[in-house]
Amino acid sequence: MTQSNRLDGGQINRDASLKFTFDGKTYHGHDGDTLASALMANGVRLMGRSFKYHRPRGPLTAGSEEPNALVELRTGGRQEPNTRATTAELYDGLTARSQNKLGSLNFDLLAINDRLSNFLTAGFYYKTFMWPAAFWEKLYEPIIRHAAGLGSLSKQDDPDLYDKGFLHCDLLIIGAGPAGLAAAQTAGRSGAQVILADEDFRMGGRLNSETFAIGDQSGGDWATATVAELATMPNVRLMPRTTVIGSFDHGIFPAVERVSDHVAVPAAGKPRQILWRIYAKQSLLCAGATERPIGFDNNDRPGIMLASAMRSYANRWAVTADRRVAIFTNNDDGHRTAADLHAKGVKIAAVVDIRTDAPTSIDFEVLAGAQVTNTKGRLGLTFAEVQLADGSARTLDVGALGMSGGWNPNVHMTCHQRGRPTWQPDIAAFGPGETLPDGMSIAGSATGAFSTAAALTTGSKAAAAALRNLGFKPKATRQPRTEDMPTNVTPFWYVEGCSRAWLDQQNDVTVKDVKLAHQEGFRSVEHLKRYTTLGMATDQGKTSNMGGLAIMAELAGKAIPEVGTTIFRPPYTPTSMGVLAGRSVGKHFHPTRLTPTHTWAVEQGAVFVEVGNWMRAQWFPQTGETTWRESVDREVLATRNSVGVCDVTTLGKVDVQGADAAIFLNKIYCNGFAKLAVGKVRYGLMLREDGIAMDDGTAARLAEDHFVVTTTTANALPVYRHMEFVRQCLFPDMDVQLISTTEAWAQYAVAGPNSRKLLEKIVDQDMSNEAFPFMACANITVCGGLRARLFRISFSGELAYEIAVPSIYGDALIRKIMEAGAEFDVTPYGTEALGVMRIEKGHAAGNELNGTTSAQNLGMGRMVSKIKDSIGSTLSEREGLNRENDLRQVGIKPVNPADPVPAGGHLMNAVGPVDAAHDQGYATSAAFSPNLGHMIALGFLKDGANRIGERMRLVSPLTDVDTEVEITSAHFIDPEGERLRA
C-alpha cells in the first residue's frame, strides 16, 4: 500500500518501515509515526464512530487532547480500549481496531442514530426511559450502554507488569516544549536536581511542528540540540513518554511513564508503565496551549481538524489528510498552517478568515470576512460551503479543512488544588489564576504568552526564579532570536444559525444541545456539563469546554468570565488501572507474614488460613481424613487426652520497660497490675475511652521494670498504636519504653495433660506445680542453654504452657518439641482446634470483643477496678452500660444434640413472636465439640446470668435454622478450672 498522503521532510525515519494493521487491513508507516499519522499517510481519514450518533470521525488533533480517533490497541490480555491514535506510537506489528460500531467502520448500522438525532438530544435518557421503572436497569440501560459506548474489554488478565516509583528533585518541569526546554537548560546549568517530563515520545513540543527558526537553527533542530545538551547533565533527568497527571499537596506530582507501550511486548521482567510519585521542591508548568475548534454545521467530518494539528502532521510527520486543503480561522495562526502546507506542495483552496482585515498572501487565496457554513462528504470531507463577506456562497472542493479558533492555555495542573483560572481578554481565553499550588510557577503558552520568544524567555526566567527560592544562583541564559508574532485573535465561537455544529465531538454535544440546556433552565456551568455531558469522558473537554462556555455566556447575556468555568481534576489524561495497582495484584496484593513454623507446617501438609497478613495453620490433615472436621476433632481430642502444640507466634507481643511500667499498665488495663508479682502472669482487659472492651490478653512480669504484654493477633497493631498514644500523649511524664517484639519471638502453646511431661524433656528447670504453678512466668533456658521464656497460661483450659524462643530458633524448637513429644503422641493443632477448645472453655475472642461489648457483657464487670483510674473505667460506669437486663455472655447448646447452633443466629423466647423487637440476644461463636458430641456456641443474652437452664429458640432466618436450645454456662469443659491448675 502506498503512503499516498506522505509529504517530504518530517521527523520520521524513512529507513525503518513498520507494518501494522487497522481493522484487519495491513498498512505501513515509519519509525516516528503515530498510529494517526501513519493511517493518514495511507489515505485513511475515517478512524472511529462517534459516541452517540455513530457519525464517522477522524482525528481532530495531533495530541493527547484528541476526542475522536479512539481505537482498541493490541489483542487478548493486552487489548486496551479508548487509546488515542494521535498519541499511540507506531511499532512493527501494531494491531489496532476501530470501536463503537455495529458492522464495519464504513457501514455502521447504528449510524441510524444520526437520523434520529431530533429524538436523541441532550437529556433524552432522563426524559425518555421513564416507564416502567423496572425496565431501566434490565432493558433500557443495557441497550443504551451497548449502543453508546467506547471500546471493549477483553476480560482477560493483563499479562504485563506495572511498577510504582518515587523521585525527588529541586525543580520539576512539566512539558518539554520551548518554555520547558529553556527552563531545563537554565536549571540544569545551575546544578540543581531537575526532572523534565513530557507526555510525547519526542521532546520539543510545538517546535517539532513548526518551521520557523530559533537562532540559526530550525525549531526542531534547536530542540534536539537542547535535549542532547540536557542529556549530558547528570543532574537532569529527562523523562519522555511521561505524563504528569496531577498536582497534589506538598509538591507531590503523580506521573505515568509509558516504558513499553511503544513495543509489541515488554521485555521480560520489564514494566509496561511506571507510576512515579515525584517529590518536587519547586515545579514549573510548561504545558503549552490547546487550539480551539470553531462551531459550524457538520464540522466533525473526517478531514476536518485543528489547523495546528494539520501543521503538526505536515511538518513533524510529513503527512496531510488530503492534497486539497482549506483553512477556517479567526486569527493569524491559521495562516501559518496554510503557508506551511503550501510550502509542502499541498493545494490550499482558500483561507477562510472571519476577519475583514485578514492578512493576505501571494501563495493562496484569503477569503476575508468569510465563514464556513457547512460541509459535505459521507465518510469524509469532500466539500466545504463558504459564505463570503458579500453574502454570496462558494463551495470549496477540499478533503481537509483546518480550524483555528484561538488557543487555550493548558492550566489544568494549576487547578488540582482548587485554583480557578482567570479570563485573559487579549487571548480570549482562561489563563492561570492567581492561586497556584505551593511552589508552582508557570511559563510559556500556559501563561497565555503564545509566541516562541516569550516561551523561551519566560521558561528561562521562571526556572531561575524558582531555583533562587531554593538558594541556587542560576545564571541568566540569553535566549536566541526567534518568532515573536502577536496572536491577533478575534473571538469567534460558532457560525450564526448553525444547529448541528459539534462542540464536544467525544460526547456528541452540539451548539443546539447547549442552547436546549439553557432553554430548560440549566444555568450553572456544572449543571450544563452534567446535563449535556459536555466535557466529560476521556478527553475531559480539552477542545470543547470553552465553546460551551461561550455559548452559555451569549445566551445569558453575560461576559464569559461572569458565567465562570469548570476547574480541572486529575488525571490530566486517562490512566490505566494497571498502573494504579502497580505490583499489588493477585497473590502479591498484600504482603504475607509467615510464622517460624511455616516451613515445618508445610512439610506436615497443613492447610493455611489468612489471618490479617498472617498465614496460620488451620488444621493438619492426616492420611485417611476426608473432611476438615475429622482433622479438627482429632486434634482437639488428642490435645485434651494427651498433648497438642500450636504456633501462637502471631499474638501481639509488646515489650514494656521502665520505672513506671507497672503504673502504665494500670492505666492501660481496667484491672490492676501494679501489684503483680515478678514471675507472674495476669489476664488483662483493655477498654476503649468509651468503656467498650478493646482487646484482651496477658501481661507477664519478668522483672520489676519489665513486662511482656500480649494482644490478640488481629489487634496487635491497634493495641501497640494505642499504647504508644497513651505513652506519648496522655502520660508523657511516665518512664515507659515500648517496642513490639511480636516477630522477635517464636511462641508455641503446649497444652494437654502430658504437656508438663513433654516440656520437662526440653526445659532446663524444675517444672513441678510447686516450682512453676498456674500463671507463672520466667526467663529460662531450653535444650541445654538457649535463652527462652516460659508462661503457664492456658487458652484451651488444659494444663498448658506457652514457650518462646528467639525467632531464629523457632524452626529448631518445633522439631525438638515434636521429637520429645513422640512418646506422648504429641499432636500439632491449628486455629480451628484452637477455636473449638476456647469455645469449649468459654474464653472470649474477637467474635465476643466485637466493638460493641463491655466488660459487663463479657461477664467481667467486676474486673474493672474501682480503686484506681484506668482508660475507659469511668465511662464503663455509664447507666446505659449497666442495666439490669444487659446482655451477658452465656453458653448455648442444642436440646436435640443433632441440631445446629449457628453463630449469627438470634436468641428468641421459646414462646412468642420471632422478630427484631423480641430479640433476646445472639450467638457469637459456634463449634462442634468432639468432647460433648454436639454443637456448642457462645453468645450474648439479655440478663443471661439469670437465665441458665432456660429453653429458648436460636433462629437464623438467613440460613433457615430454628433450633431449640438450652442456655448454659459458657464453660462447657472443666468449669472449676481443675485441669489448668493440675
Site for another protein contains 163 (CB under 8 A) = yes
Q: Which residue has the cell 467474635?
A: 847
Contact residue for another protein among 86, 510, 666, 742 (CB under 8 A): 742
Residues facing 706 on adjacent strands: 657, 703
How far, in Å, CA of 158 to CA of 898, rounded? Answer: 49
Closer CB to another protein, 163 or 625, in the complex: 163
Cβ(804)–Cβ(597) under 8 Å?
A: no
Closer CB to another protein, 102 or 167, in the complex: 167
For the bound state, the minimum distance from the C-beta of residue 384 to another protein, rounded and expressed in Å, comes to 51
Closer CB to another protein, 740 or 850, in the complex: 740
Contact residue for another protein among 348, 370, 638, 813 (CB under 8 A): 813
For the bound state, the minimum distance from the C-beta of residue 807 to another protein, rounded and expressed in Å, comes to 3
Sign of CA dihedral 161, 164, 167, 173: positive
Site for another protein contains 165 (CB under 8 A) = yes
3-state secondary structure of 960: coil
Closer CB to another protein, 630 or 743, in the complex: 743
Distance of CA 186 to the CA centre of its chain: 36
The residue among 161, 169, 189 whose CA lies nearest residue 244 is 169
Site for another protein contains 637 (CB under 8 A) = no
Contact track, another protein, 565-584, x by CB under 8 A = ------------------xx
Helices (H) and strands (E) in the chain, counts: 22, 50
For the bound state, the minimum distance from the C-beta of residue 704 to another protein, rounded and expressed in Å, comes to 10
Site for another protein contains 188 (CB under 8 A) = no
Rounded to 5 degrees, what angle do the CA atoms 588, 594, 599 make?
A: 115
For the bound state, the minimum distance from the C-beta of residue 270 to another protein, rounded and expressed in Å, comes to 6
Closer CB to another protein, 830 or 894, in the complex: 830
DSSP conformation class of 687 = E
Closer CB to another protein, 677 or 808, in the complex: 808
Cβ(974)–Cβ(797) under 8 Å?
A: yes
How far, in Å, CA of 546 to CA of 525, rounded? Answer: 11
C-alpha cell at 717: 497493631
C-alpha cell at 75: 489483542
Site for another protein contains 743 (CB under 8 A) = yes
Site for another protein contains 786 (CB under 8 A) = yes
For the bound state, the minimum distance from the C-beta of residue 192 to another protein, rounded and expressed in Å, comes to 12
Binding segment for another protein among 110-118, 219-227, 239-247, 803-811 (CB under 8 A)? 803-811
Contact residue for another protein among 328, 620, 809, 940 (CB under 8 A): 809
Contact track, another protein, 220-259, x by CB under 8 A = ----------------------------------------
**C-alpha neighbours within 13 Å on the C-beta side of residue 842:** 20
The residue among 163, 128, 181 whose CA lies nearest residue 271 is 163
Site for another protein in 143-162 (CB under 8 A): 161
How far, in Å, CA of 935 to CA of 774, rounded? Answer: 29
For the bound state, the minimum distance from the C-beta of residue 746 to another protein, rounded and expressed in Å, comes to 7
C-alpha cell at 324: 486539497
C-alpha cell at 56: 464517522
Closer CB to another protein, 457 or 595, in the complex: 595
Q: Which residue has the cell 496531510?
A: 320
Contact residue for another protein among 451, 488, 741, 969 (CB under 8 A): 741
Q: Which residue has the cell 494517526?
A: 36
Closer CB to another protein, 546 or 762, in the complex: 762
Closer CB to another protein, 470 or 812, in the complex: 812
Site for another protein contains 608 (CB under 8 A) = no
Binding segment for another protein among 91-99, 378-386, 751-759, 780-788 (CB under 8 A)? 780-788
Contact residue for another protein among 117, 417, 737, 931 (CB under 8 A): 737
Residues facing 747 on adjacent strands: 804
Contact track, another protein, 283-302, x by CB under 8 A = --------------------
Cβ(33)–Cβ(88) under 8 Å?
A: no
Site for another protein contains 745 (CB under 8 A) = yes
Burial 614-645 (b: 16+ CB within 10 A, else e): bbbbbbbbeeeeeeeeebbbbbbebbbbbbbb
Cβ(837)–Cβ(931) under 8 Å?
A: no
3-state secondary structure of 878: coil
Site for another protein contains 765 (CB under 8 A) = no
How far, in Å, CA of 188 to CA of 184, rounded? Answer: 6
Contact residue for another protein among 133, 153, 268, 867 (CB under 8 A): 268
Closer CB to another protein, 259 or 455, in the complex: 259
Closer CB to another protein, 560 or 762, in the complex: 762
Residues facing 527 on adjacent strands: none
Number of residues that bind another protein (CB under 8 A): 59
Q: Are strands 94-98 and 921-929 parallel, antiparallel or unpaired?
A: unpaired
Contact residue for another protein among 705, 919, 943, 966 (CB under 8 A): 705
Contact track, another protein, 930-959, x by CB under 8 A = ------------------------------
3-state secondary structure of 53: coil
Contact residue for another protein among 571, 658, 672, 861 (CB under 8 A): 658
Binding segment for another protein among 195-203, 408-416, 779-787, 956-964 (CB under 8 A)? 779-787
Query: DSSP string spanning 179-246?
Result: HHHHHHHHHHHHT--EEEE-SSSSTTGGGGG---EETTEEHHHHHHHHHHHHHT-TTEEEETTEEE--
Site for another protein contains 885 (CB under 8 A) = no
Contact residue for another protein among 321, 782, 834, 844 (CB under 8 A): 782
For the bound state, the minimum distance from the C-beta of residue 233 to another protein, rounded and expressed in Å, comes to 14
**Dihedral angle, C-alpha 691, 696, 702, 703, nearest 10 °:** 0
Binding segment for another protein among 43-51, 427-435, 443-451, 739-747 (CB under 8 A)? 739-747
Cβ(199)–Cβ(87) under 8 Å?
A: yes
Site for another protein contains 593 (CB under 8 A) = yes
Site for another protein contains 779 (CB under 8 A) = no
Reported residue count of the chain is 982
Binding segment for another protein among 392-400, 401-409, 411-419, 799-807 (CB under 8 A)? 799-807
**C-alpha neighbours within 13 Å on the C-beta side of residue 87:** 24
Rounded to 5 degrees, what angle do the CA atoms 353, 356, 362 make?
A: 65
Residues facing 624 on adjacent strands: none
Site for another protein contains 471 (CB under 8 A) = no
C-alpha cell at 322: 488530503
Site for another protein contains 787 (CB under 8 A) = yes
For the bound state, the minimum distance from the C-beta of residue 693 to another protein, rounded and expressed in Å, comes to 27
Which residues fall within 8 angstroms of residue 755, CB to CB, at 6 or more apart?
643, 798, 799, 800, 801
Contact track, another protein, 660-699, x by CB under 8 A = ----------------------------------------
DSSP conformation class of 33 = -
Site for another protein contains 816 (CB under 8 A) = yes
How far, in Å, CA of 416 to CA of 419, rounded? Answer: 7
Closer CB to another protein, 614 or 824, in the complex: 614
Write out the residues near another protein by the rule CB under 8 A: 161, 163-168, 193, 268-271, 274, 277, 279, 583-584, 588, 590-595, 613-614, 655, 657-659, 705-706, 735, 737, 739-746, 781-787, 805-813, 816
